[in-house]
Chain A
Amino acid sequence: MDIEALFLSIKLGALTVLILLPIGIYTGRFLAYSQFYGKSVVQALLAVPLILPPTVLGYYLLVGLGGQSSLGVWIESVLGHSLVFSFEGLVIASVLFNLPFAIQPTQRAFEAIPREIREAASCCGLQPLIVLWRIELPLAWPGIISAMVMTFAHTLGEFGVVLMVGGNIPGETKTLAIAIYDRVQAFDNDAAAIMSAFLLAFSIITISFTYLITDRSNRDYG
C-alpha cells in the first residue's frame, strides 16, 4: 500500500469537497429556485464532465494552464510556478471535474423542499439567511451530504484527468488511482491488489452511506 499516495488522495478529496461545498450549495440552490433565460444551457454545461472523457478535460486543462497559453504564463508569473504537474493544478482539475457531482444532487435536494415551506418561513418573519440556515439546509442536508460523499469518493478514483494534468510525481500528484496503475506497470500485482481492494471497499461503503442517509431522510420527513 502506497501510504503517501493514499494521503495525497485523501488530501485532494478533502480539499475538493471543501471548495465544492459552498459552490454546490450556492449554485444548486440558485438553479433550484431561479428561472432565467439560458438556464438549461448553464445546466447542460455544468453536466458536461459527466459524459466528457476525463482525458479530454485533462487535455484542455493541460493546454490551458500550461506554459504555452497566455493564462498559463500569467499564472506562472503570479504564483512563481506552473499549475500543470502540481498539486494545485490537480485541485483545480478535480473541482471542475466534480462540479456536476456536487451541484446536481444539491439542486435536487433544494428542489424537493416544497415552495410553501419556504414561504411559511418568510411569513414567520425569518430573514432569508435564517430561512436558509434553519429550514432549507436541514431539509436539503441529506442531498448535500450525499453530493459531498460522492464528490470525495469520485476524487479518490480519478485517473485520466489526474494523469493528464498532474502526471505521476510522488508526494505531489501521484494519487492512489495513479499508484495502482504505476504498480501494475511495474508488475507489482500484490500492491495493486491491496490498493484496488481498498478503493473497492471504500466505494461500497460510501455509496451505502449515501443510500442510507437518503432513505432515513425520506422516512423522517417524507
Chain B
Amino acid sequence: MVEPGIQVRLFQKEPIPLNIELSCQSGEVVALVGPSGSGKTTVLRSIAGLYTPEQGSIVCQQETWLDSSSHICKPTHQRTVGLVFQNYALFPHFTALDNVIQALSHLPKQQRQERGIELLDKVHLKGLEKRYPRTLSGGQQQRVAVARALARDPKVLLLDEPFSAVDQVTRRRLYRELIELRRSLSMPIIIVTHDLDEATLLADRLYILHRGITLQKGPPLAVAAHPVSALVARLMNQQNIFTAQIIEHDLDRQKTLLRWQGLVLEARLQSDYIAGQQVCWMIQPATVLLHRRDRRSNGERENPLSGTIIEYYILGGYANIVIRVDKKLNINITMTVPLHVAQRNRLDYGEKITISLLAAGIHLMPYTELRDTKWNQI
C-alpha cells in the first residue's frame, strides 16, 4: 500500500555522496539537521526537482516525481511543491502581491488577485500588497516567500533554513507564526536547518544527516537524550561526552555501573553493553543536578561530584556553567540552570559547587575514540 505524505529515497556516490531514506506524513513537520556539507539542502533540492541524484525515488501524495529505475523525473514546474528559499528569492520586479500571484496560475485569472490578498493576509502582511521586495524588512520578505510557497496548494512544503537571514527578535516572532500556521496546513512539511533549538521547537521528527547519510531519526527530545553514537551526540551539540568502562549491571536496582576516571558512576540500566566493555557516555546539561547550598534534595546521592566554576555566562534566562571537576583537572562538565536558581545559590566564576550526575540522564553509546582532547572542554 502506498502511504500518504512523501517518501524519499536518494542514492549517489558523487559529487555529493547520498544514501538517504526519509518519509514525512501529511501534517507532520520533519527537520533535516546536520553540518554544512551533510547533504540536507541537496535532499530538499532533489524533492523540488532542482537536483537530480544518480538513483532514487520520490513519491509524494501517491504521485511519482522521481523513479530512476523507470526513468521518471518530473521537472520542477510539474511537481506541486512550495519552497521557501534561504534568501527568499523573491522576484524583485514584482510587488508582494504579484510575487504570490505568480504561483497562482492554477486558478482562473479573476480569482488570483483575491486569493493572493488572502494569502498575504494569512501571513500578516495585509496592507503591504503593493510594496516591492526591496522596501520590505527581512521578516516581511520571509512572509511573502511563505505566502508564495503556499499559493500553489503544494503537496509538500519545503523550507530551506528560512530563519537564517533574520535577526533574533524577528526569528522568534516568525517561529510563533509558523507554529500557528502549521496547524492550518495538512501537507508534509520538511525544514532544513543547522539550528538544533529551531529544529526541536518546530519539528515532530528530526533526521540527523552527516556526509549524506542519516545517522538517526526520531522525535527531537528523544534524539537529544538518546543519541545512537557519540557522533550524533556531538552533532546534537552535546557537551558532556566521555569514555568509560562497564563494571557490571545491577538488575535489582536497574542500574549499570561504570568506571570513569577512577570513579564509579551509576547509570540507568543499559544491558546492551557487556561488563568490561569500553563505552562512550553522555549526560545532557539539564540532567546535571546542582546541590543547593541551603537544602539537600533526593537526587544528591546519585554520582556526586564537586568542582570549580570555570565558565559562567547567561543566555536567554539560563545560566550556562562549566565546572572543572576538582580531582581530574582535564574533565569539564557543562550544565544549565535557570537564572533565578543560579542567583539564589550565588553561583559565579571561581565558586566551588557540588553536583550530581543523575543516573537516569546518563546515556551509553558504542565506544569511539574521542581523539580531540579539547572535545570535552568545548
Contacts and interface: CB of A to CB of B under 8 A. Distances in A.
Interface stretch (A127-135, A162-170, A181-189): A127-135
Interface residues of B, number: 27
A139 B92 contact: yes
A138 B91 CA distance: 10
A125 interface: yes
Interface of B: 48-50, 75-77, 80-83, 85-87, 89-93, 102-103, 105-106, 134, 148-149, 151-152
Contacts of B49: 122
Nearest to B76: A122
A221 B94 CA distance: 10
Interface stretch (A93-101, A102-110, A113-121, A148-156): A113-121
B15 to A, nearest CB: 13
Contacts of B148: 120, 124
A100 to B, nearest CB: 27
A126 B85 contact: no
A198 B189 CA distance: 64
A125 B83 contact: no
B102 A121 contact: yes
Q: How large is the interface on A (under 10, 10 to 19, 20 to 34, 35 or more residues)?
A: 10 to 19
A139 B92 CA distance: 8
Given A117-B91, A134-B102, A135-B91, A122 B77 contact: yes
A79 interface: no
A124 B93 contact: no
A124 B151 contact: yes
A135 B92 CA distance: 9
A125 B106 CA distance: 8
B92 A221 contact: yes
B82 A221 contact: no
Contacts of A124: 77, 102-103, 105, 148, 151-152
A35 to B, nearest CB: 13
A52 interface: no
Nearest to B105: A125
The 9 closest A-B pairs by CB, nearest first: A116-B89, A124-B103, A122-B76, A120-B89, A221-B92, A123-B83, A124-B102, A116-B85, A122-B77
Contacts of B77: 122-128
B85 A221 contact: no
A126 B102 contact: yes
B134 A221 contact: yes
Contact of A125 (B80, B87, B90, B93): B80
Contacts of A120: 83, 85, 89-91, 148
Given A117-B91, A122-B49, A124-B77, 7 more contacts: A120-B148, A122-B50, A123-B76, A124-B102, A124-B105, A125-B103, A139-B93
29 contacts: A114-B87, A114-B89, A116-B85, A116-B87, A116-B89, A117-B89, A119-B89, A120-B85, A120-B90, A120-B148, A121-B91, A122-B49, A122-B50, A123-B76, A123-B77, A123-B82, A123-B103, A123-B149, A124-B103, A124-B148, A125-B77, A125-B105, A135-B91, A135-B102, A138-B93, A139-B92, A139-B93, A220-B93, A221-B93
Contacts of B134: 220-221
Contacts of A126: 77, 102, 105
A119 B90 CA distance: 11
A128 B87 CA distance: 22
Contacts of A122: 49-50, 75-77
Contacts of A135: 91, 102
A221 B95 CA distance: 12
B76 A119 contact: yes
Contacts of B75: 122
A29 B148 CA distance: 26
A135 B148 CA distance: 15
Given A116-B87, A119-B76, A125 B152 contact: yes
B48 to A, nearest CB: 6
Nearest to B93: A138
Contacts of A114: 87, 89
A123 B48 contact: yes
Contacts of A119: 48, 50, 76, 83, 85, 89
A219 B48 CA distance: 32
B239 to A, nearest CB: 36
A34 B248 CA distance: 63
A220 to B, nearest CB: 7
